[in-house]
Structure 1
Amino acid sequence: MPELITRRGWLLNEIRTRQGLWTTRRAENTLQRSPWPTSGRNTARKDLRALAGRGALTVWHDRETKRQAYTPNTGKATA
C-alpha cells in the first residue's frame, strides 16, 4: 500500500528540496501544482505557520518591510 502524505508533509518536502526563503505567495503557488490544487493563500499561510510551530521551519523577519518568510530547518522535525 502506498504511503499517504499530508498536504503539509508534501509542502515541507518541496521546501526542503527547493530551499531558499518561502513566503506565503511562494507556498501558495507551489500548492497549486500539488495534489491539493484548490489550496488558497490562507491555507498556505496556515501551513507555513504550523510547520514553523512544529520546528520544521525557521521564521525570518524583515524589519524594514515588516514581512516574514520561512526557511527549512536542518533538524529532523516532521510535518
Structure 2
Amino acid sequence: MLDGAIRAAQHGGMPTKETIDTSHGKVWITHFDNGDASIWTPPGSRQSDFVADIVGGRAAWKPKYRAWIAPAVHAQQLIEELQQS
C-alpha cells in the first residue's frame, strides 16, 4: 500500500514538499495526495537516528527510497513532533 502511494504520487498529482529545521538538522517531508508522508534525512546524519526514535512504530522504513513512510493516520502528528523538536 505504501509503495502504491509513492507510485501514485509519482504518476498522478504532484506531491508537496517541505523542509523542517529540527534541533538535530534538516528533515525533508513529502506530502502525498492520500495523506501519507515521506520523511527523509541524509543517510548516516545526526538527524537520521533522531527521526527513527520519533517515528517509533508509526512509520515504515522503505530502503528503496531511503525514507520513512508515515501513513495518513500518523503523518500529521509525526510532522508536528518534528517541527517542535
TM-score (norm 1): 0.35
Pick 1 or 2: higher relative contact order, CA cutoff 8 A, min separation 6. Answer: 1
